[in-house]
Amino acid sequence: MKERLKEQIDFIDKYLDKYLAEKENPQNIIYKAMRYSVFAGGKRLRPILMLNVCKMCGGDVNEVIPFACALEMIHTYSLIHDDLPAMDNDDLRRGMPTSHIKFGEATAILAGDALLNRAFEVVSEYDGDNVKRAMKAINMLAVSSGTEGMIGGQIVDMESEGKEITLDELRYLHLNKTGAIIRSACTIGALMGGGSEDEIEAVDEFAKNLGVAFQIQDDILDVTGSEEELGKPIGSDAEENKNTYVRLVGLEKSRELSEEYSENAKKALDIFGERAQFLKELTDYLINRKN
Amino acid sequence: MKERLKEQIDFIDKYLDKYLAEKENPQNIIYKAMRYSVFAGGKRLRPILMLNVCKMCGGDVNEVIPFACALEMIHTYSLIHDDLPAMDNDDLRRGMPTSHIKFGEATAILAGDALLNRAFEVVSEYDGDNVKRAMKAINMLAVSSGTEGMIGGQIVDMESEGKEITLDELRYLHLNKTGAIIRSACTIGALMGGGSEDEIEAVDEFAKNLGVAFQIQDDILDVTGSEEELGKPIGSDAEENKNTYVRLVGLEKSRELSEEYSENAKKALDIFGERAQFLKELTDYLINRKN
């Protein structure tokens, strides 16, 4: 699995490199800052999901690659802004200085803005035959990263820090903060891949469950992982008073829940038969990861 | 003119109000923060330009209103982020507390992000017959607000603060920072309004010159205006060591330049004959404004 993922990451990175090509003009530093964070060693989970869902639905990955890269840009911008002093105030991410440490706060804010903006530049360059479908996909992308998606979840996360929240509230938070763009990665992949309405719905069910399982695993790793593997201090969630599954239901129950959600995710793909094999294996791989 | 503008502002605000409707959910505060800055008394210059260019080209304003509102959201997000402590560190805008003073820095960052994001949500809801044209318009919008447009200009502005720059460098800075979205306001209006290639080109020439004239007038007002009319302290540009036309070429020459650019702007519209009357009058009005 690691090797197959490496191959896909290289494919995605080739396009990200092209879409984020540096320009030799007076604003050159913004390109450097955007590239620094995008090429800081991300797992490319969202683009990988999109490409493989597209393939599973019988589509052409060239149709979705701009969307896959856009989603990675959006994911990266959210990390840059999350790390800012006024937000989580993190100095390190994946073992490297965060954007505002490396480039200063003003440039980090603008680099985040620029990545969000660039995402929509890239997808609106579409000039294929399915322009109506592409327009719909742009809308799904935008909604998932907005106030009823990722940004909404970030606000709720911020507001709930240091407060006791319920499991339902935690689920709502994650369904938006990390879940929304994992879902749009999958549903855009299905839509642009030519999937039927039933298939898009199945893929959405898969993504919804995978997103929760993935998040729980993140919370578990913050407690059980090693600093070297994670690239950040262990126990930082607890220290920052973050609401996590481990804090709310304990480690053992968290493991059970993660298992349960990942089983539901895989089950949702049954209608694709053999074609779902890679995504099912990927689900297991993600839930057993160490970083 | 004031009354005619008031009517148009009301029309635009009705749609902004709809597009930014508050939702009663846990992230409700983000809607309040977005609305606070959008409804803080902006001139709506960019939407007004777009609507009137569209009309001048014989188009239907209902086709461009989502784009007009999107541009206003993008303009507003850029002001929120510009005002942040790490950027210009401004406490007041148009006589009111800036977003981070009112809502805190973290929410202000997210409100800016959310407005940029919402702009693309709104325009990608397009379901009319000219979807290819709308896709092109989205791309023009995105490019004008990105690293080769507004954000690029902001970076250059930041990098040049406190340094002596040439008139050419100042022109480059403004052509991007404020000029790019004034141009896309006009060219999107022309494109979506069904303008010919020649007409779009003429409108672009108009916008390019208007943008410079408008910026020079801004610089002049910072020196000659009254605090009450501007809603911010007089002379703040000089105090912050900003590069302005007044600082580079003096007040008298700045007035000459402003006049020259606004004449060029109006001349570019001659191919529209009578239909250009409103935009020509608007140009004069903007260059003689007091705030």
| DSSP calls for B42-85 | ---HHHHHHHHHHHHTT--HHHHHHHHHHHHHHHHHHHHHHHST
Nearest Cα residue to A52 out of A92, A83, A9:
A9
B194: domain CATH number is 1.10.600.10
Report CA Rg, chain A: 18
For B136, nearest residue in chain A (alpha carbons): A124
What's the pLDDT tens digit per position in B196-249?
A: 999 999 999 999 999 999 999 999 998 887 666 666 666 667 666 778 999 999
State ipTM.
Answer: 0.95
Cβ burial, residue A2 (10 Å; 0-12/13-18/19+):
exposed
Residues of B in contact with A132 (CB under 8 A): 131
Q: Which residue has the tokens 């010919």?
A: B196
Res A289 pLDDT > 90:
no
The three-class DSSP label of residue B93 is: strand
Residues of B in contact with A104 (CB under 8 A): 86
Query: Residue A210: which residues within 8 A CB-CB, separation 6 or more?
Result: A49, A182, A186, A261, A262, A265, A283, A286
Does the CA dihedral A89-A95-A99-A102 come out positive or negative? positive
Q: How far is A42 from chain B (nearest CA, A)?
A: 22
Q: How far is B29 from chain A (nearest CA, A)?
A: 8
Q: Would you call B22 an interface residue with chain A, using a CB distance cutoff of 8 Å?
A: no
Whether the CB-CB separation of A224 and A252 falls below 8 Å is answered with: no
Res A226 pLDDT > 90:
no
Nearest Cα residue to A73 out of A30, A16, A29, A27:
A16
Q: How far is A269 from chain B (nearest CA, A)?
A: 29
Res A55 pLDDT > 90:
yes
Quick one: average pLDDT of A249-277?
Answer: 96
Residues of B in contact with A112 (CB under 8 A): 113
DSSP label of A97: E
Q: Would you call A156 an interface residue with chain B, using a CB distance cutoff of 8 Å?
A: yes
Q: Cβ of B110 and A151 within 8 Å?
A: yes
Q: How far is A289 from A287, CA to CA, in rounded Å?
A: 6
Q: How far is B273 from B275, CA to CA, in rounded Å?
A: 6
Q: How far is B37 from B110, CA to CA, in rounded Å?
A: 13
- Residue B106 is predicted with a pLDDT of 97
Range of the domain at B88: 2-287
Count of Cβ atoms closer than 10 Å to residue B5 Cβ:
15
Residues of B in contact with A106 (CB under 8 A): 86-87, 158
Q: Cβ of B81 and A110 within 8 Å?
A: yes
H runs (alpha helix) in A124-166: 131-144, 150-160
- Residue B222 is predicted with a pLDDT of 87
- Residue B122 is predicted with a pLDDT of 98
Indicate the residue type of B216. Answer: I
Q: How far is B122 from chain A (nearest CA, A)?
A: 8
Q: Would you call A153 an interface residue with chain B, using a CB distance cutoff of 8 Å?
A: yes
Residues of B in contact with A148 (CB under 8 A): 23
Q: What is the DSSP string of B187-212?
A: HHHHHHTT--HHHHHHHHHHHHHHHH
Q: Which residue has the tokens 């210059």?
A: B45
Q: Cβ of A131 and B126 within 8 Å?
A: no
- Residue B121 is predicted with a pLDDT of 98
Q: How far is A234 from A137, CA to CA, in rounded Å?
A: 38
The residue among B110, B158, B175, B240 with the most chain A CBs within 10 A of its CB, best to mutate, is B110
CA distances from A251 to A73, A164, A245, A248, A285 (A): 32, 18, 8, 9, 20
Cβ burial, residue B96 (10 Å; 0-12/13-18/19+):
middle
Q: Which residue has the tokens 């090693």?
A: A226
* Domain count for chain B: 1
- Residue A224 is predicted with a pLDDT of 87
Q: What is the DSSP string of A39-70?
A: TS----HHHHHHHHHHHHTT--HHHHHHHHHH
Given a cut of 70, the residues of chain B with pLDDT beneath it are 226-236, 238-240, 291
What's the pLDDT tens digit per position in A179-211?
A: 999 999 999 999 999 999 999 999 999 999 999
Q: Would you call B112 an interface residue with chain A, using a CB distance cutoff of 8 Å?
A: yes
The residue among B28, B117, B157 with the most chain A CBs within 10 A of its CB, best to mutate, is B117
DSSP label of B178: T
Q: How far is B190 from chain A (nearest CA, A)?
A: 19
Question: Which helix (DSSP H) or strand (DSSP E) does residue A119 occupy?
Answer: helix A105-123
Question: Which helix (DSSP H) or strand (DSSP E) does residue B172 occupy?
Answer: helix B167-177
- Residue B290 is predicted with a pLDDT of 74
Query: Residue B127: which residues within 8 A CB-CB, separation 6 or more?
Result: none
The angle, 0 to 180 degrees and rounded to 10, between the axes of the packed helices A150-160 and A167-177 is 140
Q: Would you call B158 an interface residue with chain A, using a CB distance cutoff of 8 Å?
A: yes
The three-class DSSP label of residue A25 is: coil
Q: Would you call B87 an interface residue with chain A, using a CB distance cutoff of 8 Å?
A: yes
Res A232 pLDDT > 70:
no
Quick one: average pLDDT of A110-139?
Answer: 97
Residues of B in contact with A153 (CB under 8 A): 27
For B117, nearest residue in chain A (alpha carbons): A146
Res A39 pLDDT > 90:
yes
Residues of B in contact with A25 (CB under 8 A): 152
B35 phi-psi bin (left φ>0, alpha ψ -120 to 50, beta other): alpha
A162 phi-psi bin (left φ>0, alpha ψ -120 to 50, beta other): left
DSSP label of B162: T
Residues of A in contact with B172 (CB under 8 A): 26
Q: How far is B221 from B230, CA to CA, in rounded Å?
A: 8
Q: How far is B131 from chain A (nearest CA, A)?
A: 7
- Residue A225 is predicted with a pLDDT of 76
Q: How far is B36 from B32, CA to CA, in rounded Å?
A: 6
For A82, nearest residue in chain B (alpha carbons): B106
Res A230 pLDDT > 90:
no
Nearest Cα residue to A165 out of A282, A261, A245:
A245
Q: How far is A23 from chain B (nearest CA, A)?
A: 9
Number of H helices, E strands in chain B: 16, 2
Helix, strand, coil percentages for chain B (3-state, nearest 5): 75, 0, 25
Report the Cα–Cα distance between both ends of chain A, in Å, rounded.
15
Task: Report pTM.
Answer: 0.95
